[in-house]
Amino acid sequence: MKRIVKFIVGGMLSLAAGASIAFAQATPPTPAVNAESVVDLRTAAGVLLVRGQWRYTDAQIASVPFRLAGPDRKPTGAVDVAHALQPDALAANFDDSHWAAIAPESLEDRRGTGKVSFNWYRLHVTIPQRLGNVDPTGDDVVFEIVMDDYSEIAVNGTMPTVLGQVGDGAIAGWNAPNRVVVAHNVQPGQQFTIAVLGVNGPISQAPNNYIWVRSATLDFYRPGKIERVAADAGGTIKRLDPALDAILPADAKIQKVATGFEFTEGPVWVRDGNYLLFSDPNANMIYRWSPDDGQVSIYRAKSGYAGLDIGEYFQPGSNGLTLDAQGRLTVDEMGRRRVTRIEKNGTVTVLADNYQGKRFNSPNDLVYRSDGALYFTDPPFGLPKVFDDPRKELPYSGVFCVINGQVKLVSTDFTGPNGLAFSPDERYLYVDDWDAHHKAINRYEVQPNGDLTNGVLWADLTNEAGDDALDGMKVDKLGNVYVAGPTGLWIFNPAGKVIGRIIPPEEPHNLTWGDADGKTLYIAALTSIYRVRFDVEGIRP
């Protein structure tokens, strides 16, 4: 049994894990029996229904020219010999007409050469007008295959790859169901090309068997049925002003989408891939949650620190997460005391790790300006002894700006600067304070050179009950400000008046806008991730 200890230090409420680290309680995949309709692609009737034809070919490993890694860790070095699978049959417009046409009933036939081998299966499908008595218009469609031994899947030439991804197109495991969402809101007549790479394994121990398909289906779900979410997680929504009714539906509910963590923080929605990333600084992890199947996976382990003294840290992991204009993840690494960017090829670029030769305390939250200037807060909450830690090198907790490759100190006004967010026009930057004696938000004028000027006290919740001070902060496109604070999420209008509160079952600590339309507010609250649908779009990277 894991041991969780609540503590308050320097005005900071957190969670510390004991000897064991809790792993996310991932929701199991939605079983096919919950689908509205299932098309069995191992039968002639099923393939005929979608006007399909299975095509097959063996694949071989061939020698190809490629460059060695250069000083930039990219393929910019000398030309060398590498290996690739041929044919490369991922592309949607790949011509497979010369491949063998195979009957769906033969998918269980053993294929490949045995030992370590690879092969391709391709299927062109058309959404039918009817599925028995069911009209599939508007359905979400999932392709699921169980390959002996491994499979990779691409739909219309696309196989999303995400760090830590298991399934969703990547190899799911030994004889494991591999599921991909073919499309949402399908229409009759819509066409898709599905390419499946079969792999015989384990690769390191060449097996005495072959590749074959245990099952293959198209599963049709009514909208919203793929995702397994509690309809109502409880909690309270307090409507304190009619202005809230204009942005929050009357029937809005607080839903729980994932749980079982140590301490959730720093969520960000990745539009290129349609998923949520969030930190667990206590467990030293970044997790990924996908609404397509409700699954949680590890995106990055040791997300903030890896050192001999890690046992001294309550929160060694990453905290704030955001995306730059190119969609690259930018991370506050609390234990390593730096801000980094994960490049598209997975390498890590350090954006800032010191100011005038002195290491940061523990970067906490961050936000980009549209021109690429990066602002972040730097309280000492990631250090084992917080304000009294001997590792602390800066005498203050600052707000910093990385602009034109240089690090600037732009504010030392707060004891524990924490959340920060721009107004819609980027004229102002809001910064809040995690200090039990000063639960306040300042608003600053933002200068082109990155400086913050004319700071004013914009809102003060110091007298509000609750152990929490102020934490993560976001803004919607109308200029309303959302702040994780004492006993809930506080919503202010642009003038600084509280118009409502969202109180989930657990204390919120950070938040982000997500989903395709940007109107869902995802809330990181202690052990769980919650969400609430709004009628207004949020500002997001």
DSSP 285-352: EEEEEETTTTEEEEEEES-S---TTGGG-S--SEEEEEE-TT--EEEEETTTTEEEEE-TTS-EEEEE
pLDDT, tens digit, 9 for 90 and up, residues 328-338 = 999 999 999 99
Pick from 349, 327, 333: nearest CA to 279: 333
Q: Residue 348: is it exposed, middle or buried by C-beta count within 10 angstroms (0-12/13-18/19+)?
A: middle
pLDDT of 338 reads 98
Asked if the model's pLDDT at residue 223 lies above 90, the reply is no
Q: How confident is the model at residue 23 (pLDDT cuts 50, 70, 90)?
A: very low
Provide the residue ranges of all domains of the chain, joining segments of one domain with +.
Answer: 4-26+228-533, 32-221
Share of the chain above pLDDT 90, in %: 79
| Tokens of residue 270, six digits | 């990745």
- pTM metric for this prediction: 0.83
**In this model, does residue 221 exceed pLDDT 60?**
yes
Per-residue pLDDT averaged across 461-469, rounded? 91
Range with the lowest mean pLDDT among 66-75, 185-194, 336-345, 384-393? 66-75
Tens digits of residue pLDDT in 114-173? 999 999 999 999 999 999 999 999 999 999 999 999 999 999 998 876 666 666 778 888
CATH code of the region 32-221: 2.60.120.260
Predicted pLDDT at 227 = 66
pLDDT of residue 228: 60
What is the rounded CA–CA span in Å between residue 522 and residue 75? 38
Phi-psi region of 235 (alpha: psi -120 to 50; beta: other; left: phi over 0): left
Question: How would residue 536 be classed by pLDDT, with cut points 50, 70 and 90?
Answer: very high
Beta bridge pairs of residue 519? none
Distance (Å, whole) CA 407 – CA 353: 9
What is the sign of the dihedral through the CA atoms of 299, 511, 255 and 224?
A: negative
Please state, rounded to an integer, the average pLDDT across all residues of the chain: 90
Output 155 or 74, whichever has higher pLDDT: 155
> Tens digit of pLDDT for each residue in 229-262?
555 788 999 999 999 999 999 999 999 999 999 9
User: Does the pLDDT value for residue 29 go beyond 60?
Assistant: no
Q: Per residue in 267-307, pLDDT tens?
A: 999 999 889 999 999 999 999 998 877 778 889 999 999 98
Residues paired with 114 in a beta bridge: none
Q: Could you give the CA distance from residue 133 to residue 305 in angstroms, rounded to a whole number? A: 56
Q: Is 44 helix (H, G, I), strand (E, B) or coil?
A: helix
4-26+228-533 shares its CATH topology with 32-221: no
DSSP 188-215: TT-EEEEEEEEE-S-TTS--S--BEEEE
Can you give the C-alpha Rg of the chain in angstroms?
Answer: 26
In CATH, 4-26+228-533 is 3.90.870.10: no
